[in-house]
Amino acid sequence: MNRMMLKYGCNPNQVPASVFMAEGELPIKVLNGKPGYINLLDALNAYQLVKELKEATGHPAATSFKHVSPAGAAIGLPLDETLKRIYFVENKELSPLACAYARARGADRMSSYGDFIALSDVCDRETAAIILPEVSDGIVAPGYTEEALAILKRKRKGNYTVIKIDEDYEPREIERKDVYGITFEQKRNDYRVDENIFNNIVTQNTNLSESARLNLMISLITLKYTQSNSVCYVYDGQAIGIGAGQQSRIHCTRLAGSKADTWFLRQHEKTLNLKFKKGVGRADRDNTIDVYLSEYWEDLLMTDVWKDFFEEKPEPLTDKEKREYLSKISGVSLGSDAFFPFGDNIERAAKSGVSFVVQPGGSIRDDNVIEACDRYGIVMAFTGMRLFHH
């Protein structure tokens, strides 16, 4: 098959809609459900991300995609007991691939609501089982075990979109798209992220651990498929904060940094010990925790709304407690898809425990950015390669 008709395009008024190959067969096969236009944009971008993560790191990889940018991306490192709790996978069997998706989904659970999933490897029973209770639109993977497919077909009243992609498919070198009736053409971005990105360390501190190298590669591969401008904070093999599609780089850094802070604060003892009422669903739990950790929590406490979610009135996590907790965080890696134009990005990154940075370099203020890194003892490498994605 070289053409697939779709219900509509980005919006219901955009008909007809389809995907097709000018030459050859489509490299995707729908095993269940009916994907939409945006589903396929997410699926094809997301699969490229996890395929490259697997190739670069050697670990199975997963991503949680929403509106053509990742909400989370990760490799399949084991989960400690705290992460199992905040990812709702306690007492679950966890294969490396299942760990990868639990991490990808758990990076930003609010943004991942209704995600499109991509897996680097054949979906196994363990991974399908943790996907089952999550609100998700669909999945793409190079294959599915019989048990995994049966589990996934139970989602969304049997209408969950399941796509199998040919892992040996190689796209043409030149890619095209139409905008306002005008065709754009460019060579596809085949830049490979590997150990060579660390050849130009420009800071006084040059000590890059193996884990930092791994995390920095994850950040750049994630950014390669994130709508620009974008930055990505990574810790322990997973993205923990992604700032996508902002017009200003400092806004990217702040947005992603606040998401990284929330990820860490979800592991605070007070957050872990919140006593939710029975019957409060995962999505309501995620949303309520986000509010609990925000500046709006005091306003909510002045109403009776908290009684809808909690067995008892929660003890607030004060600003002082948050600052003290976050001040102990270190070892976070940060990637940027283009150069940092000012040192204020580093100042903000340092507040979220960033110890390692990778970026293209090339700003007329590189000296200012390097100086800011040196002030905090941060290691920074220049790649010389911009990774805009639109």
Among residues 239, 273, 281, 238, which one has the least CA distance to residue 256? 239
Q: Alpha-carbon distance 222 to 200, whole Å? A: 21
> What residues form DSSP beta bridges with 208?
none
For the chain, the domains span 3-170, 189-265+326-382, 269-316
For 272-300, the DSSP string reads HT--BPTT--HHHHHHHHHHHTSTTHHHH
When the pLDDT of each residue in the chain is averaged and rounded to a whole number, the result is: 94
Separation of alpha carbons 127 and 133, rounded Å? 11
Q: Kindly report, residue by residue over 273-313, the tens digit of the pLDDT.
A: 999 999 898 889 998 999 899 887 877 766 777 788 888 88
Q: Do domains 189-265+326-382 and 269-316 have the same CATH topology?
A: no
pLDDT tens digits along 54-82: 999 999 999 999 999 999 999 999 999 99
Contact 196, 187 (CB under 8 A): no
| Length in residues, the chain | 390
Q: Are 310 and 274 in contact (CB under 8 A)?
A: yes
Q: What is the pTM of this model?
A: 0.95
- The CATH number that domain 189-265+326-382 falls under is 3.40.140.20
pLDDT for 253: 96
The pLDDT of 176-197, averaged and rounded, is: 94
- % pLDDT > 70, the chain: 99
Query: What tens digit of pLDDT does each residue of 323-345 get?
Result: 999 999 999 999 999 999 999 99
Domain 3-170 has CATH 3.40.140.20: yes
User: 64 is written with which tokens?
Assistant: 């949680």
Does domain 269-316 fall into CATH 1.10.287?
Answer: yes
Q: Which of 234, 239, 217 is CA-nearest to residue 106?
A: 239
Question: Residue 161 above 80 pLDDT?
Answer: yes
pLDDT for position 302: 65
User: Distance of CA 317 to CAs 169, 286, 388, Å?
Assistant: 50, 16, 38
φ, ψ (nearest 5 deg) of residue 311: -70, -30
**Which two structure tokens, joined as six digits, stand for 22?**
């000018």
In tens, the pLDDT along 210-259 reads 999 999 999 999 999 999 999 999 999 999 999 999 999 999 999 999 99
**Given a cut of 90, is residue 166 above it in pLDDT?**
yes
Confidence bin at 137 (pLDDT 50/70/90) = very high
Catalytic residues: 66-67, 229, 390
Question: 3-class DSSP state for residue 137?
Answer: strand
Q: How confident is the model at residue 135 (pLDDT cuts 50, 70, 90)?
A: very high
- Cβ atoms of 363 and 242 within 8 Å: the answer is no
**Does 172 score more than 90 pLDDT?**
yes
